[in-house]
Amino acid sequence: MPAAPATALHDLPAAPLCVGYSGGLDSTVLLHLLASSRPAHGLRAIHVHHGLHADADRWSTHCEAACAALGVELTVIRVKVAATGAGPEAAARDARHAAFASALGSDEVLALAHHRDDQAETFLLRALRASSPDGLAAMRRWRTFGRGRLWRPLLDIDRDALLAYAQAHGLAWIEDPSNADTAFDRNFLRTRVMPLLRERWPHASDALARSAALCERTDALLDDEDALALANVGLSDPRCLSRMGLLALPESRRARVLRRWIDALGLPALPANGIERIEHEILGARDDAEPVFQWHGAVVRAWRDLLFADVARAPLPADWHAEWDGRAPLALPDGDVLALDGTAGFDTPLRVHARQGGERLMRAGRSHSHALKQVLQELGIPPWERERLPLLSDGAGELLAAGDLVHSARFDAWLRGRGARLVWRREGETHAATARDGN
């Protein structure tokens, strides 16, 4: 049976608290509960202004007044909701969670007001998407989030109990008219499906939420073994796994390991058919096939024994080039940076450019030049690294370096003579090529 709101804070943390405050019924009750349970200086709130409704400014004003009355500091964060293939609900949620994560302090706890009916709806939505037990576990009461933790203290409380609490305490809240729009999946479940289920089975919400809790327990039992399996197939670059190692795992374990890996990388959750597509299109592909699977701005690729996942990034434009004297870091068009450390700069400016094909390089200790393509293949540089590889050439067109991966004999001697180092810094990632030495 659902609990009373007064029991919701049984695990109230001692850490600083931040409430995600929309101004709706649920977050209004949560804010009031927390403000009544600890000094206001240990509590703050964040309101995310999505700008999706004509009354969004008025809602922000309401939240400011409500927080001021409780003596709670409020931060209003304006976001832009970018259209994605996942739909408007998911896009708004992603923008909101990104705002929360960026604003959350170190070791701070973000309290969100999801309740028992929300949990039942989430369980049904994920069941309809053929989710595995970890997905059917739906929303956890506690999990890591940003630089701190996320806490959902109302998961055992149903909406009727929250409404009764708000009315008993004379609270005022916002009614978002979009909550009645059944074009959104969750609203359709809430307004059309759940009332029918409760008409036949009055405790349907409780039963579905209980099933989610049982799936969470099952998932917890499997979690330690998943972590061990992921460690066994992992390589030195966390974005890379061994394909052979994965294929040696039982199929059911492999699916869990892949989901855990994607989650650990902070990438969008795989779509319902994501595991199936990775299994059939990526893992079993030929070593030289270079298959790719993309979803919601993320990508999984395979090459040789590597399975690679990251944010999808554009290659360096083929017609791009720049003159560079090495005195300051050079920003590349794809967000990467090329820098020269340990010396004031080059004697004469050099040319930085994208690969065109057919480049050759004279390496130290070699009697003749080699095709750059062959050198990169021998070094085990994956194709996705080569697409973004900045080349450094002198005025006569002689190739001196391919990023910081390989240098010509002449350029290597120049660097050594000055104690200098050429550094190719990738945007938001570590050196993918190091995976060849090794979710």
Query: Could you tell me which residues are annotated as the binding site for ATP?
Result: 22-27
211: its two tokens? 């099933």
| Contact present, 415 and 407 (Cβ < 8 Å) | yes
Backbone angles phi, psi at 241, to 5 degrees: -125, 160
Task: Return the sign of the alpha-carbon dihedral for residues 35, 41, 46, 47.
Answer: positive
Residue found by looking up tokens 């049976």 in the block: 1
Q: How far is the C-alpha of 264 from the C-alpha of 278, rounded, in Å?
A: 17
| Contact present, 391 and 399 (Cβ < 8 Å) | yes
342: its two tokens? 């340990």
Q: How far is the C-alpha of 314 from the C-alpha of 339, rounded, in Å?
A: 21
Q: How far is the C-alpha of 308 from the C-alpha of 240, rounded, in Å?
A: 5
| Contact present, 134 and 256 (Cβ < 8 Å) | yes
Rg, C-alpha atoms of the chain: 27
| Residue 357 burial class via C-beta count within 10 angstroms: exposed 0-12, middle 13-18, buried 19 and up | exposed
Q: With DSSP H G I counted as helix, E B as strand and the rest as coil, what are the percentages for the chain, rounded to 5?
A: 40, 20, 40
Residue found by looking up tokens 């050099």 in the block: 350
Q: How far is the C-alpha of 209 from the C-alpha of 116, rounded, in Å?
A: 6
Beta strands across the sheet bearing 240-242:
240-242, 306-311, 298-303, 292-295
Q: Which residues are annotated as a binding site?
A: 22-27
| Contact present, 194 and 116 (Cβ < 8 Å) | no
Residues contacting 142, CB < 8 A, separation 6+ = 11, 149, 150, 151, 152
Listed residue (428, 420, 431, 429) closest to 392, CA to CA: 420
| Contact present, 209 and 116 (Cβ < 8 Å) | yes
Listed residue (256, 268, 260, 341) closest to 299, CA to CA: 268
| Contact present, 103 and 79 (Cβ < 8 Å) | no
274: its two tokens? 């994501």
| Residue 316 burial class via C-beta count within 10 angstroms: exposed 0-12, middle 13-18, buried 19 and up | buried
